[in-house]
């Protein structure tokens, strides 16, 4: 059994196309998407059109939820850019996403924490940056989820964590389309993975054993950066080109 796990595409259709090409080689049995599909100053409508056709089981990210629930006038610029360009058919598709998905007894999918799409599971914010939380913090966050494997996104930082107390594995595949960003929740901080590659993960079960592969793909990140610059988002342009965010604003 081979499962591809993708997350946080954020409207970066060029990065998504690189992942799709790689998936042809990997030929997984199943592909799942952990959300934040289209928000960002890039290609939201084109990304949604591709995703709508895939039939992938898709979790609703915090940004997807904003697009579904919030009036455009109350959105930040990242979501508003997508909302203003998303066709009704693609918005209807976005509404079919689910807050969490249990694809088998063994595998649970969420965007942030199982109970909250806007709180990190695999990072803890202290000061202007994140770091890996201690095991007790993660155990508390996944309380009530007995799946052997929990897949989450939201942080854009790839991680694989094994909880010693339960043997559960937490997989965060990182972000397909946005390698670093600044955010104000819960306090102003930045996340940066340090290179501009498109990330996703493959998990493979052989017998009773799972193995995990974190992938980092080269794509035309200069073109993605140019598109963000054209759409007046210099922070995104810098992030897409380098994988570092730069100074907090």
C-beta of residue 153 within 8 angstroms of C-beta of residue 122: no
Distance between CA atoms of 153 and 32, rounded to whole angstroms?
12
Q: Is 46 in the site for Fe ion (CB under 5 A)?
A: no
Rounded to whole angstroms, the Cα distance separating 24 from 42 reads 24
Scanning 4-12, 44-52, 183-191, 207-215 for contacts with Fe ion by CB under 5 A, the matching segment is 4-12
Shortest Å, Cβ 113 to Fe ion: 14
Q: Assess 192 for contact with Fe ion (CB under 5 A).
A: no
Which class for 217: exposed (0-12), middle (13-18), buried (19 or more C-beta within 10 A)? Answer: middle
The residue at minimum Cβ distance from Fe ion is 36
Is residue 36 within the footprint of Fe ion (CB under 5 A)?
yes
Span from 34-42, 204-212, 221-229, 232-240 in contact with Fe ion (CB under 5 A): 34-42
Q: What are phi and psi of 88, to 5 degrees?
A: -65, -35
Where in 119-178 is the site for Fe ion (CB under 5 A)? none
Tell me which stretch binds Fe ion (CB under 5 A): 17-25, 35-43, 47-55, 185-193: 35-43
Q: Rounded to whole angstroms, what are the CA distances from 188 to 33, 126, 129, 153, 248?
A: 27, 10, 9, 19, 8
- Binding range to Fe ion, per CB under 5 A, among 3-11, 40-48, 199-207, 210-218: 3-11
Nearest to 220 by CA among 247, 249, 241: 241
Map the footprint of Fe ion across residues 8-27, applying CB under 5 A.
8
Size of the site for Fe ion (CB under 5 A): 2
Residues of this chain that interact with Fe ion (CB under 5 A) are 8, 36
């Amino acid at each position: 059994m081979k499962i591809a796990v993708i997350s946080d595409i954020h409207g970066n259709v060029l990065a998504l196309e690189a992942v799709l090409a790689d998936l042809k080689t990997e030929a997984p049995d199943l592909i799942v998407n952990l959300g934040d599909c289209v928000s960002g100053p890039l290609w939201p409508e084109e990304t949604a059109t591709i995703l709508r056709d895939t039939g992938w089981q898709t979790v609703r990210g915090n940004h997807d939820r904003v697009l579904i629930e919030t009036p455009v006038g109350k959105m930040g610029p990242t979501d508003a850019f997508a909302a203003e360009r998303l066709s009704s058919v693609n918005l209807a598709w976005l509404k079919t996403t689910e807050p969490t998905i249990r694809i088998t007894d063994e595998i649970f999918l969420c965007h942030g924490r199982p109970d909250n799409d806007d709180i990190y599971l695999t990072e803890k914010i202290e000061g202007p940056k994140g770091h890996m939380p201690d095991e007790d913090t993660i155990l508390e966050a996944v309380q009530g989820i007995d799946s052997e494997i929990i897949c989450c996104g939201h942080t854009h930082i790839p991680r694989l964590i094994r909880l010693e107390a339960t043997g559960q594995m937490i997989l965060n595949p990182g972000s397909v389309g946005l390698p670093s960003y600044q955010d104000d929740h819960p306090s102003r901080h930045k996340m940066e993975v340090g290179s501009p590659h498109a990330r996703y993960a493959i998990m493979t079960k052989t017998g009773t054993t799972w193995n995990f592969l974190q992938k980092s793909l080269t794509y035309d990140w200069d073109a993605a950066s140019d598109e963000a610059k054209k759409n007046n988002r210099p922070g995104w342009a810098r992030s897409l080109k380098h994988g570092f965010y730069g100074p907090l604003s």
